[in-house]
Amino acid sequence: MSTHRDLREQLGVYALGHGTPAERTAVRAHLDGCASCRAELADLAPLRDRLAAVDPARVDDLPGPPAHLGDRVLAGIAAERATVPVPLHRRRWAAAVAAAGIAAAGFGVGWLVRPVPEPPPLEPVAVQVAVPEVQATADVVPHTWGMEVQLHGAGFAAGEVYRAQVTEDDGRVVSAGEFIGTGPAEMVCNLNSSVLRADAASFEVLDSSGAVVLTSSL
């Protein structure tokens, strides 16, 4: 059984839409009864898009320089300059370089503190699976143009085409896209529908024969 600490450490993975269906189900069940973890998940939401854009291939384990190396180098340069006269044209060149460095630093700070819109909140929804081989969890994301369903699952028959649809409150059925099953391999599908979240009653996933594989009441 996972401890509170184990589940809390999985919140970042959950916020990014990762994790196996079983892990996401465990985190979702824990969130239902843990107010502190729900609050922490809400704090992670604004960072979701930034973290998702990180390229792991560009991250390495090379050690950084000693913490005070820069200060020692600058102090050594300053001491040497104090004993050696610097021609006027070199002083002007150094001032220009320093000004350029300050401008570049200002640009970098401005880029870091630029306003970034918060991503839409994830709404976990319960999923009822009609096929024993299938494991799935889902989150709903409301948008101004409709509704997005983030489906995480495994066990969908490899190579088979599955169709997703959203049913409105008035009974109208609207397509939410298609995907191909990947067998036992985990998959993540972002399914989009023009139905607004407030008007959606449920969503379903059907196999190639039209049989319902899973459904969720909204």
Tens-of-pLDDT digits for all 218 residues of the chain?
567 787 788 777 887 777 888 888 888 888 887 888 888 877 777 776 666 666 656 655 555 666 666 677 677 777 766 665 655 555 566 656 666 666 665 665 565 556 666 666 789 999 999 999 999 999 999 999 999 999 999 999 999 999 999 999 999 999 999 999 999 999 999 999 999 999 999 999 999 999 999 999 98
Cα 207 to Cα 152: distance, rounded to the nearest angstrom: 16
Directed axis angle between helix 21-33 and helix 35-44, to 10°? 120
| Global confidence as pTM | 0.49
Which class for 24: exposed (0-12), middle (13-18), buried (19 or more C-beta within 10 A)?
buried
For the domain made up of 123-217, give the CATH fold: Immunoglobulin-like (2.60.40)
| Residue with token string 């059984």 | 1
Provide CB contacts within 8 A for 16, sequence distance 6+.
48, 51, 52
> DSSP alpha helices (H): ranges in the chain?
4-9, 11-15, 21-33, 35-44, 48-52, 69-83, 88-112
Among candidates 178, 131, 190, which has minimal Cα distance to 156? Answer: 131
User: Residue ranges of the domains in the chain?
Assistant: 4-52, 69-112, 123-217
Dig out the tokens for 128 from the structure: 């009822």
